[in-house]
């Protein structure tokens, strides 16, 4: 099912890209956590600032009075807005190109004329993709925990855990969307634009739906609606069914991509 | 057992024709030519045989193994040299060849790569991206033969190689063939096919129009004759001459027929100079189909 030699080669081929994106995500995580002490020292001033924000704005970005009173709430705001977006863009763009790039660069002819089935090649690439995703996710989570301990006072570990579990399944879904896109669109297309558009679009769709009641139905079209990343009044409940649904949706998208690749003519 | 067996192989791209009912057999140990002008369907046939393209109809076997239902087993027996060489640009030739060797589980791969690298004078440790087209082609040749395949499928194999390397390549092919390898040699260069092959199939507009022994093909082959006479005299053209142009001392015509007859006729003329050219393949085909 998974070809060890190809897996090793693919992992090596993607390591530079992984390192760059992981550095960005880690740098951002540490920056967010390191500025928290300055904010927390501002005490009442921050509470006043929060209350002066337009209510719609605060709702859109998952901010409330509790947001700035603990490092968990503070980190959660940035985790939703930036960190999952960055990880999603990395994994979805890698998913979109990990198979299509071979065709675009002409190396598919070399790969597919080896004694390896197409199915094995696709599943090996999926395994590489999941490995890259799990590695960036795990490294970010570990650094976030260390940063919390370093810069935080009291950490709400339950909220932190639920936030990261939701983040995992959101990024997994975006990864699968990237793979599905590549199986339907031309390999010559630069996928970064559509992927950034989909991920940012999903985020802002959810934000708009939360900000304006008249269009709250827009939220149903965004994955962020189903798996919250920001705590509400300091509490973030786990949505296990949402996680299951996202896993099933991701598996389905990967399966469809696999089926399409199995039938595809490889251009010369 | 046949090394390659294509039966009614058909490939359409939507409504556009790729190849139509291509049937041919290549015996084990044979060097088989596959000739046709550009766009005739040579690469489409090969790419369908190797599973890169999904066939619309028909079947293909390599040493009795169906390449569509059991492609992995079939491809274990094949070495493939593509017409366009595209490798992972970030790798060196050595890394690419080691990767290939690992996939095929080649024994003693490092030594074999070193030997073949020396034979073709290929700088194994330079990144593929920095190699000239000719050197990339050498790397492609090495990966095609490294795992000692039973069947070699070569698509326009000499493009980019200088004459010295072409000769080394042909010598290597002859050696591999003498050791039992079957060679399927696709080209639009007739002289290469003449040199290497016992039989050849001609493909035109997606269909096989003839499968001939090379000797028979040559008998039907057209040559373009340009001659300058020593003195102006009426010229009585040989049987098989056509498309005559010129008068006085200079004449040009196409000749179809046994080469020996042409040489005999030429020896009877008061020649100041003569040039025999292989016309382009399209003209050969035009002539071939006229007969």
Mean pLDDT confidence for A174-178: 95
**B18 with B42, same domain?**
yes
**B149 with B235, same domain?**
no
Give the one of B72, B89, B104 whose C-beta lies nearest to A117's C-beta. Answer: B72
pLDDT for the residue numbered A64: 64
**B72 with B185, same domain?**
yes
Looking at CA atoms only, how far is residue A83 from chain B in angstroms? 30
Q: What is the pTM of this model?
A: 0.85
Give the one of A6, A110, A113 whose C-beta lies nearest to B75's C-beta. Answer: A113
The total number of structural domains in chain B stands at 2
Interface test with B, best of A115, A124, A266 (most B CBs within 10 A): A115
Q: Which residue of B has its CA nearest to A6?
A: B103
In the listed set B218, B249, B277, which residue is the last one of a domain according to the structure?
B218
Report residue B285's pLDDT band, with 50, 70 and 90 as the boundaries. Answer: low
CATH number, domain containing residue B36: 3.40.50.300
Residue B291 has pLDDT above 70, yes or no: no
Query: Under an 8 A CB cutoff, do B88 and A13 touch?
Result: yes
**B206 with B243, same domain?**
no
Query: Under an 8 A CB cutoff, do A109 and B82 touch?
Result: yes
**B45 with B115, same domain?**
yes
**B186 with B271, same domain?**
no
Backbone angles phi, psi at B143, to 5 degrees: -65, -25
| CA–CA distance, A219 with A87 (Å, rounded to integer) | 21
Cβ proximity of A254 and A174 under 8 Å: no
Q: Which domain holds residue B234?
A: 222-290
**B113 with B138, same domain?**
yes
**B157 with B282, same domain?**
no
**B162 with B18, same domain?**
yes
Domain ranges of chain A: 4-263
Per-residue pLDDT of A61-89, as tens digits, reads 666 666 667 888 888 888 888 899 999 99
| CA–CA distance, A89 with A93 (Å, rounded to integer) | 6
In the three-class reduction of DSSP (H, G, I as helix; E, B as strand; rest coil), residue B190 is classed as helix
**B195 with B248, same domain?**
no
CATH number, domain containing residue B257: 3.30.70
| CA–CA distance, B78 with B148 (Å, rounded to integer) | 9
Mean pLDDT confidence for A143-163: 88
In the listed set B197, B218, B239, which residue is the last one of a domain according to the structure?
B218
Instruction: Give the bridge partners for B66, in sequence order.
Output: B61
- Report which of residues B283 and B106 the model is more confident about: B106
Give me the half-sphere count of Cα atoms (radius 13 Å) on the Cβ side of residue A227: 26
In the listed set B156, B189, B218, which residue is the last one of a domain according to the structure?
B218
Residue B291 CB contacts under 8 Å (≥ 6 apart), including other chains: B220, B256
**B138 with B199, same domain?**
yes
Closest among A184, A170, A199 to A99, alpha carbons compared: A184
Per-residue pLDDT of A188-238, as tens digits, reads 888 888 999 999 899 889 888 888 888 889 989 999 888 887 777 667 888
**B32 with B145, same domain?**
yes
CB contacts, 8 Å: B149 with chain A: none
- Report which of residues B266 and B279 the model is more confident about: B266
ipTM of the complex: 0.83
């Amino acid at each position: 099912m998974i070809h060890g030699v190809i897996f090793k080669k693919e992992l090596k081929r993607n390591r530079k890209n992984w390192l760059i994106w992981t550095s960005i995500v880690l740098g951002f995580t540490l920056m967010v956590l390191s500025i928290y002490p300055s904010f927390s020292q501002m005490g009442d001033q921050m509470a006043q600032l929060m209350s002066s924000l337009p209510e719609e704005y605060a709702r859109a970005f998952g901010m409330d009075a509790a947001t700035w009173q603990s490092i968990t709430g503070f980190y959660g705001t940035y985790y939703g807005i930036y960190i999952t977006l960055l990880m999603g863009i990395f994994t979805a763009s890698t998913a979109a190109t990990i198979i299509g790039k071979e065709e675009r660069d002409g190396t598919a002819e070399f790969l597919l004329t080896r004694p390896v089935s197409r199915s094995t090649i696709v599943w090996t690439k999926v395994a590489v993709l999941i490995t890259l995703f799990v590695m960036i996710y795990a490294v970010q989570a570990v650094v976030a925990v260390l940063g919390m301990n370093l810069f935080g006072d009291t950490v709400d570990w339950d909220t932190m855990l639920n936030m990261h579990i939701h983040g995992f399944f959101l990024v997994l879904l975006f990864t699968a969307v990237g793979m599905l896109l590549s199986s339907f669109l031309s390999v010559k297309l630069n996928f970064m634009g559509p992927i950034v558009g989909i991920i940012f679009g999903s985020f802002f769709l959810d934000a708009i739906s939360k900000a304006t009641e008249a269009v709250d139905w827009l939220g149903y079209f965004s994955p962020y609606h189903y798996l919250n990343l920001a705590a509400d009044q300091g509490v973030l409940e786990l949505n296990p069914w949402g996680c299951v649904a996202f896993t099933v949706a991701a598996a389905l998208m990967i399966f469809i991509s696999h089926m399409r690749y199995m039938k595809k003519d490889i251009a010369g | 057992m046949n090394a390659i067996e294509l039966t009614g192989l058909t490939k359409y791209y939507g409504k556009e024709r790729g190849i139509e009912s291509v049937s041919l057999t290549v015996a084990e140990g044979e060097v088989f030519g596959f000739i046709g002008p550009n766009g005739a369907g040579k690469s489409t046939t090969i790419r369908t045989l190797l599973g890169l393209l999904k066939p619309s109809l028909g079947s293909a076997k390599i040493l009795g193994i169906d390449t569509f239902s059991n492609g992995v087993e079939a491809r274990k027996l094949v070495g493939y040299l593509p017409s366009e060489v595209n490798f992972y640009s970030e790798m060196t030739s050595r890394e690419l060849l080691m990767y290939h060797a690992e996939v095929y589980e080649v024994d003693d791969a490092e030594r074999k790569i070193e030997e073949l690298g020396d034979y073709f004078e290929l700088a194994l440790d330079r990144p593929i991206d920095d190699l000239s087209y000719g050197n990339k082609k050498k790397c492609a040749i090495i990966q095609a033969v490294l795992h000692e395949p039973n069947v070699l499928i070569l698509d326009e194999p000499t493009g980019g190689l200088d004459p010295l390397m072409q000769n080394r390549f042909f010598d290597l092919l002859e050696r591999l063939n003498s050791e039992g390898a079957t060679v399927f040699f696709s080209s639009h260069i007739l002289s290469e096919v003449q040199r290497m092959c016992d039989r050849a199939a001609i493909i035109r507009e997606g269909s096989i129009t003839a499968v001939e022994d090379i000797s028979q093909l040559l008998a039907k082959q057209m040559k373009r004759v340009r001659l300058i006479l020593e003195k102006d005299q009426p010229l009585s053209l040989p049987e098989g001459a056509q498309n005559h142009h010129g008068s006085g001392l200079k004449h040009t015509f196409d000749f179809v027929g046994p080469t020996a007859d042409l040489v005999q006729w030429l020896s009877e003329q008061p020649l100041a100079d003569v040039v025999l050219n292989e016309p382009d393949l399209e003209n050969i085909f035009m002539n071939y189909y006229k007969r």
